[in-house]
């Protein structure tokens, strides 16, 4: 046994931690070979749930994707009958994925390829603490070095039993487990909000732009009733392309003197382009002309530079705006050539026909709506990233 202390801890705890093996504190069972299920036995409905590794989602179990089995199969092995608080680890396919059984309301058993991990003594080990420890990178690092098999890897039980776990006092375990669960719940909450916003945007894009031969959208802002117009891109914008010189200096850091981003494909890098004034764009639409992201369209607010893997639409008859960018992004992929390297060149973009409102005010109103919606989506994305980074930092400091 080794005695250790983490980098940070709750102030009321002073005792050293100790190492133990996973087999010292848990039992591990999986569906044995002769019990394996055939897919013909999977039921869409039933009284006895079957949980598979593919039902794991970010440490939880998506019960809506689970199948069911007959009672005979459930009764076959009590060691893989599940209860809330159990920890599951995949041993085949994607190895080392971990899920915590919570919110289970019906009898459930395991499919092949998953270990059921149960605590031997709940007075000494906190289940949430152990789950978080197993879900952290420590287990995956351990597994990747020891998994057996060729192309298809397996995590044998005789490997997993020796996995080293560090344990503080039970009360300290509980505090660590609870705070990490709280962060997980915040991450899920923001992920759900983010997903709802993305779905809402997708629905609005479907309803706010005319379909097929119609020139009238299904949903529009109050006060607008005129038919939309169908026009070619080249009749509305000046069609140009980013500059190859931008690619040579994107490694430079953005400064107060040159506060303009450089766009290359779908990535943004800070660039020092102050001495290429003629290549500075403002409030324009870009699209990726080459590569895997060919045909992806974005509205770029403010001043910017871009490399020659981007095409640029500059305001001409109408203003380049978020609304047109969204319209083009919904159709541009259809015009990408996949002969060799995917491409959507300027001449092809120029001839794409799109439908736009005849009134500039309606264009601006729709643009403002999508700008605000995208800003909200970005806000939630950054919040999710911040929470993930906070948890990553805590895992490095709360555990040894």
Asked: is 170-210+358-400 a CATH 1.10.287.1120 domain? The reply is: yes
For residue 382, pLDDT beyond 70: yes
Give the pLDDT score at 35: 80
Instruction: Parse the chain into domains and list their residue ranges.
Output: 3-168, 170-210+358-400, 229-356
Q: Percent of the chain beyond pLDDT 90?
A: 68
Q: What is the mean pLDDT of the chain?
A: 88
For residue 89, pLDDT beyond 80: yes
Which one has a higher pLDDT value, 304 or 273? Answer: 304
pLDDT band at 48 (very low <50, low <70, confident <90, very high): very high
User: Domain 3-168 maps to which CATH number in 3.40.50.970, 3.40.50.620, 3.90.220.20, 3.40.50.2300?
Assistant: 3.90.220.20
Which CATH class for the 229-356 domain? alpha beta
Report the C-alpha gap between 167 and 213 in whole angstroms.
67
User: Which tokens sit at 140?
Assistant: 């995956």
Helix, strand, coil % (nearest 5) of the chain? 40, 25, 40
Give the pLDDT score at 7: 85
Name, in order, each residue with C-beta under 8 angstroms of 82's C-beta and a sequence gap of 6 or more: 51, 88, 101, 104, 108, 109, 110, 116
The mean per-residue pLDDT over the stretch 65-86 comes to 95
For residue 299, pLDDT beyond 90: yes
Give the pLDDT score at 248: 52
Place of tokens 């039993």: 161
pTM reported for the whole predicted model: 0.79
Which of 392, 394, 397, 3 has the alpha carbon at shortest distance from 167? 3
User: Which tokens sit at 184?
Assistant: 């997980």
Are domains 3-168 and 229-356 of this chain identical in fold? yes
Of the given ranges (139-148, 263-272, 276-285), which has the lowest mean pLDDT?
A: 263-272
């Amino acid at each position: 046994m080794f005695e250790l202390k983490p980098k940070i801890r709750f102030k009321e705890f002073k005792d050293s931690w100790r190492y133990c093996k996973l087999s010292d504190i848990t039992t591990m069972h999986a569906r044995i070979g002769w019990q394996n299920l055939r897919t013909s036995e999977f039921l869409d409905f039933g009284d006895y749930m079957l949980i598979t590794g593919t039902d794991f989602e970010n440490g939880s179990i998506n019960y809506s994707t689970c199948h069911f089995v007959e009672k005979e199969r459930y009764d076959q092995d009590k060691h893989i009958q599940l209860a809330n608080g159990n920890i599951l680890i995949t041993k085949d396919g994607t190895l080392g994925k971990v899920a915590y059984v919570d919110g289970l309301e019906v009898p459930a058993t395991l499919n092949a390829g998953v270990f059921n991990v149960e605590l031997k003594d709940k007075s000494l080990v906190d289940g949430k603490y152990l789950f978080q420890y197993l879900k952290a990178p420590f287990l995956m690092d351990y597994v990747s070095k020891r998994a057996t098999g060729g192309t298809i890897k397996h995590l044998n039980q005789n490997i997993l039993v020796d996995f080293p776990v560090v344990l503080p006092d039970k009360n300290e375990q509980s505090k660590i487990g609870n705070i990490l669960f709280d962060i997980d719940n915040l991450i899920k909450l923001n992920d759900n909000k983010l997903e709802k916003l993305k779905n809402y945007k997708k629905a609005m894009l479907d309803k706010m732009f005319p379909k097929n031969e119609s020139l009238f959208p299904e949903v529009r802002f109050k006060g607008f009733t005129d038919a939309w117009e169908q026009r070619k891109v080249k009749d509305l914008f000046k069609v140009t392309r980013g500059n190859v010189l931008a690619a040579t200096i994107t490694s430079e850091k953005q400064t107060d003197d040159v506060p303009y981003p450089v766009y290359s494909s779908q990535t943004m890098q800070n660039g020092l382009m102050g001495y290429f004034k003629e290549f500075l764009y403002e409030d324009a639409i870009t699209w990726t002309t080459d590569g895997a992201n060919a045909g992806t369209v974005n509205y770029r607010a403010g001043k910017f530079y871009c490399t020659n893997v981007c095409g640029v639409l500059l305001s001409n008859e109408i203003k380049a705006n978020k609304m047109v960018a969204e319209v083009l992004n919904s159709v541009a992929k259809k015009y990408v050539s996949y002969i060799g390297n995917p491409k959507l060149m300027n001449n092809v973009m120029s001839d794409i026909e799109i439908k736009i409102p005849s009134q500039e005010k309606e264009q601006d109103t729709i643009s403002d709506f999508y700008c605000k919606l995208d800003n909200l989506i970005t806000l939630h994305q950054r919040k999710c990233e911040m929470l993930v980074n906070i948890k990553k930092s805590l895992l490095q400091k709360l555990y040894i």
